[in-house]
Amino acid sequence: MDYSLSEELEMIRRMVREFAIDEVAPGAALRDETERFDRPLFEVMGKLGLTGIAWAESYGGLGSDVVTNIMVLEELARACASTGYSLFVHSSLAGAAISMFGREEQKIKYLRPMAEGSKLGAYAWTELAHLTGTSGGELHTKTRRDGDHYVLQGDKFLVPNAGEADVYVVFAAMGDGPLASVSTAFLIEKDTPGFMLGKSEQKLGTRGSPSMSVELDGCRIPADNRLGEEGDGHRIALRTLEGARSGIAALAVGLAQAAMDAAIAYAKARKQFGKPIAQQQAIAFKLANMATQIEAARWLTYQAAWRESEGVENGGSGETANTNLFAGEMAMGVTLEAVQIHGGYGYTKAFPVERYLRDAKMLQMVEATMDEQRRAIARVVNGAF
């Protein structure tokens, strides 16, 4: 199999890399420090066609494949993980759910402005109980049919892009039981009565990508805003999250590449006994290990994206979990080594590696924790769990 990029893809990569270096990277530290989402920057990405890459051209997208999408995410994360993550949520979660399961009128109404960068998408599945490990597959947000509307009641927690987003994909359980398997998905616009923003979360990493709680208090949604059929929520969530995992891996690869770039630059500039520390065997070997781990994760990621683009069976959730697990742990290890190479300076904000380390931890936790990834792999390998 040939995973080399075509000339067209290489041109796109160069364009995105130049944009990331010139426009995204300079403000990354300030966005992290002030916990600010840069909406004008997102609008520029819309004008460049980066906010709807994999969607059909008829809905304002580029009609490109998954490989193109993860390549863009990798390059953005290399400049700013927060910017890359917000785009990931917008396109690979909220937009992908609408693209795959939306009705024609829903795609026309929402995907085009999302592709143009005039509307930002958010994805609201997580509830507080999910974070404590006590909820499993339950959803405590409830919905009931009321004539031509649905009424939603409940709370969502750590909703990525919340507060800045215009369109929210929200999941709620139907009936008396809390099981996610009887959930339904809805498209909710930010100014809908009964839809309220709650607490803004102060996070360890990706601080330039907003996360807030969402409160649904008798929120009335027109039946036309149901995504898919009643009871389809669990299937929509699983399919969306499964397809999005290569995107998280791409963010991890781009972030790790940034950390290694910073470590190399520092090691070449820092001198001991009149020689750059990059010439010391211990440092050189650290850099060699970092490069090997990044390249392995990169090709696992591109293989998963290529399989999805080609419609090749991914071997169940275990294969995408392999990619996500390896890339997430690789990013954490590489960013930690980058801090170590910087010595005491690595622990300060004088250099970006401390931010890279904080951002890497987030990539080990979103969509599924590392242990959840291992559980998915174990089911495929030996039927455990």
Yes or no: say if 89 and 123 are a contact pair by the CB < 8 Å rule.
Answer: yes
Which residue, among 143, 331, 332, 171, has the nearest Cα to 241 in the 3D structure? Answer: 171
HSE value, Cβ hemisphere, 13 Å, CA-based, for 172:
30
Which helix (H) or strand (E) element contains residue 153?
Answer: strand 149-160
Distance CA 358, CA 363 (A): 9
DSSP 208-236: TS-EEEEEEEEEEEEGGGEESSTT-HHHH
Q: Which two tokens stand for residue 354?
A: 């401390």
Indicate the burial class of 313 (C-beta count within 10 angstroms; 0-12, 13-18, 19 or more): exposed
Which helix (H) or strand (E) element contains residue 320?
Answer: helix 317-341
Rounded to a whole number of angstroms, the distance between the first and last alpha carbons of the chain is: 33
Which residue, among 194, 226, 263, has the nearest Cα to 106 in the 3D structure? Answer: 226
Distance CA 56, CA 99 (A): 8
Dihedral angle sign, alpha carbons of residues 208, 321, 183, 134: negative
Among 74, 164, 319, 367, the one annotated catalytic? 367
Collapsed DSSP state (helix, strand, coil) of residue 123 = strand
Distance CA 141, CA 368 (A): 20
Which residue, among 272, 248, 277, has the nearest Cα to 340 in the 3D structure? Answer: 277
Question: β-strand 167-174 against 121-124: which pairing, if any?
Answer: parallel
Say which amino acid occupies 58. S
Active site residue 367: yes
Helices marked H in 121-232: 128-132
Catalytic residues: 367
